[in-house]
Structure 1
């Protein structure tokens, strides 16, 4: 009899969610976890991201909306644990219109949590972002810092985190929250800065640099992120928040220079554009807690990870070229 957990992964056709699913199933043999992906397949969801695991005996896919209470209740009743990636996540789109962000990120999370309480799910991992903390000039945010989100996207993720943690306190639900820094890697939808720049530069196009380019982000390879999420699912503590960092802080100008070099381009291909509204100056999380409690450390150095990412996009035009129209705002 298979005693391994049955895991429901929401948003599992997206960049990070699909990487988590491929990693979880790729490392498991007979008797490993069973994984069901629930994904609405919005513009950023791509069924091709799951092709490597479609033949796995422990894999199932359900096309549906995390805001659908009937469907969600049925699926949750058939699973032991939930890893919740499903979210609208592009800041620029949230500035243009926040409706979908409030619906998916807030209402969707609440719908999932209600089903988890009713069906006595053992564990829910709420996958969040460092953007909920807002901007920090010096130092790094620890998990006990107050949330001060500055974009509609970040505000909806902060709301989802607080709702999730309230279900732990109120209902005793085992909720664990992760907050990661900026992700990069293969299979990332080409609206985000790293694949946006790579695909445009590979096509001989131009790239936009917001403002003076001095905004600072910590970069985390998706391999390291999903490994950290899995540590939290397997060994994290109920009601706790875990920051996940990549230990690679770069200004946007520094990142642009590295991407130009990696793609064989120069600064003549860069357009300096008006800064984004409410653009946070710097994000930085202190990930001491997940290091000390769960043994996490980022394993992919940025130079290697970036080179591998550029190479993947160069070798997989058939994956990203059909997505370019959907990536345009």
Structure 2
């Protein structure tokens, strides 16, 4: 069942078709008196731009309304609720498969790219690419598994999912289409939607930017950094000065593009989950961070097993 992209009110259909498919009429939400989903008429480029700009309506459109069947005014019939639910589940699983494959391919390409830019005479063989792809796959499974379990636990604690009949049959003014049409698979799908754009951005920027080959190499710092603690008018313990110096050197040797895109991906994932779920901002942040920590732990374990530590970001 689709929802209104303005107030998440549940609706039976978002538009009506007449004799031709091009002749349609958008439905109006009975609660907010706005069009249920104007993105139905927008091209894919506009939807992509809305996704980059993190507009809430695009998440509701992609997760609940995209591909939903219309009401056929010529025949006077619409798809039944059971058929609509099954079709929506198939569409979600298909999007999960496509987005997951694209995410794995982009992340694998990013991790193999330093071997091509560091003048490696041997190049990259198929066995190496498979091992890196396996690491990326296991990391993704760990990240989405931890995120999904914690999100469902938070929803269970709130009594939001599974939905009780009392909440489903509540007054129309308080109905929430997200709750009535929620599926656990929407959580990893939201993260995949928000992570693809930063991954593609990092892949594009990597053409002009070569990251340091290893964070363990002591590369010379090309700029003079001003110490904050040493500029204070009172005496600072030497331990804090050493820590500040170590952080400055670590930042100078770090991959700025990787840090920026990962931060963008985390903020985007948190915003997308905030649109989908009724969690508080700090809860969403902790859920996203826990997924990252789970992926990082699995990454360290897998890199030690397959002995490709220089390719793990």
Does TM, normalized by the shorter one, top 0.5?
no
* Coarse TM-score class (shorter-chain normalised): under 0.3
TM-score norm. by structure 2 comes to 0.28
Q: Which has the larger share of strand?
A: 1
Q: Which has the larger share of helix?
A: 2
TM-score norm. by structure 1 comes to 0.27
If you compute each CA radius of gyration, which structure gives the higher value, 1 or 2? 2
